[in-house]
Amino acid sequence: MGEIKLLDCTLRDGGYVNDWEFGHNNLVSIFERIVGAGVDIIEVGFLDDRRPFDMNRSIMPDSASVERIYGKLDRKQAMVVGMIDYGTCSIEHIQPCEESYLDGIRVIFKKHIREQAIAYCRQLKELGYKVFVQLVSITSYEDDELMDLIRLANDLEPYAVSMVDTYGLMHQENLMHYYKLLNQYLKPSIGLGYHSHNNFQMAYANCIEMLSHETERMVLVDGTIYGMGKSAGNAPIELLAMHLNDRFGTHYDISQMLEAVDANVMPIYKMTPWGYNMFFFIAASNDCHPNYVSYLMNKRTLSVKSINEILSKLEGEKQLMYDQKLIEQLYLDYQNIEVNDEKDIAELTEKFKEKNVLLLGPGLNVQKQFDRIKAYVEEKKPIVVSVNFISGELNSDYVFLSNSKRYVQLATALSQNPNLRVIATSNVTKTDGRFDYTLQYSSLLDEAADGVCMDNSFIMLLKVMKKIGVKSVALGGFDGYIGDKKQNYINAYMEYSFNKEQAEKTNQYVTDVLDDLKKDIDMNFITDSLYTKTV
């Protein structure tokens, strides 16, 4: 077996968790622990000339900044490297290696700019650095594209070429497919590395698989302390060190790594955890960019089944190159199930004709100010329509469902309330049979609004009221959003993760639409609402 080198990238990949703000003491401490553990290569951060110098951050505008943070530290046996995302640090900001604290620079790039990136790597090599060619999203490479990369790399002769499983998509079979091609056709002098992510809980297992295949060339394997890193995290370096000690007779001091876990990394983990979770599993299982999943989950209207069905429509290079307009269109196409709702509209018009109507939202004020609602119901005897929830204290006549996720959550309660009639939009599909009333989803959207607001359930229901001729409604439980993880809903399972800015934006949108609807519907808020400030 050729030489195996263990590379720690906590200070670089781990920085995605905390915007690289470890604090200077932590930067120094982590570096010294990794040196003390005997790790072969230490990646100390990003070089990015768009970022100002900050002694507390491991993202630096130029190579000289590395010296300012780490220059007084004893590296002992370790090779020290930085990383550049090609295009974010001009060659003018990189000093000659002999003047730098860095021994090497790793360059990440996507396949479509490989020729330009390799040319940049050549400039770094001419400055005296050991150059690492990092193949971002290795799973996006077709074999002919990989062979072209190998041709470019053989001409450059970098220190190493690394497979980067950016979105944690690989299992052993496809990992070894890329490994064997690279191992067979790269010049023997070029090292071969692997940088994993843990979306499928495969990071550590894949590293072991690669290390089990003997080769005469140098092999590099990346890890981070406690798996700290982007998205689902990385292979934990303490586990890799344990395996290398047991299997290959190395002598990494794992206790030093565990000291770093305890003293430096665990406080960050408690504030901002990383690791395997459903979000990253969904992204990886659909071979797609995580931002697609974020967009669909932030809609807060879709079941996981629906999210998977939409993501299955992504094709080719678009899967890993995020396109917001594309995912918006796929979402609308998926939701836009055509129905002829003329009969249902006519029937609802007759049912609601000249009746008092109370629309009931799921806000906390349904509980806090229940006496107001109860008094109104006793006096006016209204038709009560609840929105995407069922009140445990007040009997509703109808429930309005515009949200597949809410339907899944209410399935049991609906089965236990046979007299409760359901008005559903056409994007919500019933598990069996049909709903009492099904209305065309697209006719209730506000396509001029942004993605978060365009299918606001409260506004959609008011549009239904307008369609069926209701001229006046009482409103309870439409509190508006507070944000910053404060409780908005009567039921905890309904909570959305709104920050304050998102909450204010949504409140303003609803307020503006209500103001426009006033000319058609008289609205009487019987519980307090943030929407009433200007309405």
**pLDDT tens digit sequence for 22-61:** 999 999 999 999 999 999 999 999 999 999 999 999 999 9
pTM beyond 0.75: no
pLDDT digits (tens, 9 = 90+) for 394-450: 889 999 998 877 887 887 788 888 889 999 998 887 777 789 999 998 889 887 776
The single-letter code of the amino acid at 120 is Y
Domain 4-271 has CATH 3.20.20.70: yes
Residue 70 φ then ψ, to 5°: -110, -5
Dump strand ranges (E) for 382-521.
383-387, 398-401, 421-425, 437-439, 472-476
Residue 138 φ then ψ, to 5°: -55, -30
Residue 10 φ then ψ, to 5°: -60, -45
Closest CA to 534 of 112, 525, 385, 526: 525
| Predicted pLDDT at 520 | 93
Contact 31, 11 (CB under 8 A): yes
Give the Cβ contact number of residue 326 at 10 Å.
15
| Predicted pLDDT at 87 | 97
According to DSSP, residue 86 is labeled T
According to DSSP, residue 89 is labeled S
**Residue that has been written with the tokens 């932030």 in this structure:** 298
The span from the CA of 286 to the CA of 367, in Å, is: 41
Q: What is the residue-level pLDDT of the chain in tens, covering all 535 positions?
A: 799 999 999 999 999 999 999 999 999 999 999 999 999 999 999 999 999 999 999 999 999 999 999 999 999 999 999 999 999 999 999 999 999 999 999 999 999 999 999 999 999 999 999 999 999 999 999 999 999 999 999 999 999 999 999 989 999 999 999 999 999 999 999 999 999 999 999 999 999 999 999 999 999 999 999 999 987 999 999 999 999 999 999 999 999 999 999 999 999 999 999 998 888 889 888 989 888 998 888 776 677 888 898 999 999 888 988 999 999 889 888 877 778 999 999 999 999 999 999 999 988 898 899 999 999 999 999 999 999 888 878 889 999 998 877 887 887 788 888 889 999 998 887 777 789 999 998 889 887 776 557 788 999 999 999 999 999 999 999 998 876 555 555 554 444 555 677 778 888 889 999 999 999 999 999 999 989 864 4
| Predicted pLDDT at 456 | 87
234 to 83, 220, 252, 280: CA distances (angstroms): 16, 15, 19, 13
According to DSSP, residue 48 is labeled -
Which residues touch 419 (CB under 8 Å, ≥6 apart)? none
CA 457 to chain centre: 24
Q: How far apart, in Å, do the first and last CA atoms of the chain sit?
A: 75
Token duo for residue 220: 């590099």
Which residues touch 205 (CB under 8 Å, ≥6 apart)? 172
Residues, the chain: 535
The span from the CA of 247 to the CA of 288, in Å, is: 35
Which residues touch 372 (CB under 8 Å, ≥6 apart)? 476, 526, 527
According to DSSP, residue 194 is labeled E
Is residue 373 classed as helix, strand or coil in its secondary structure? helix
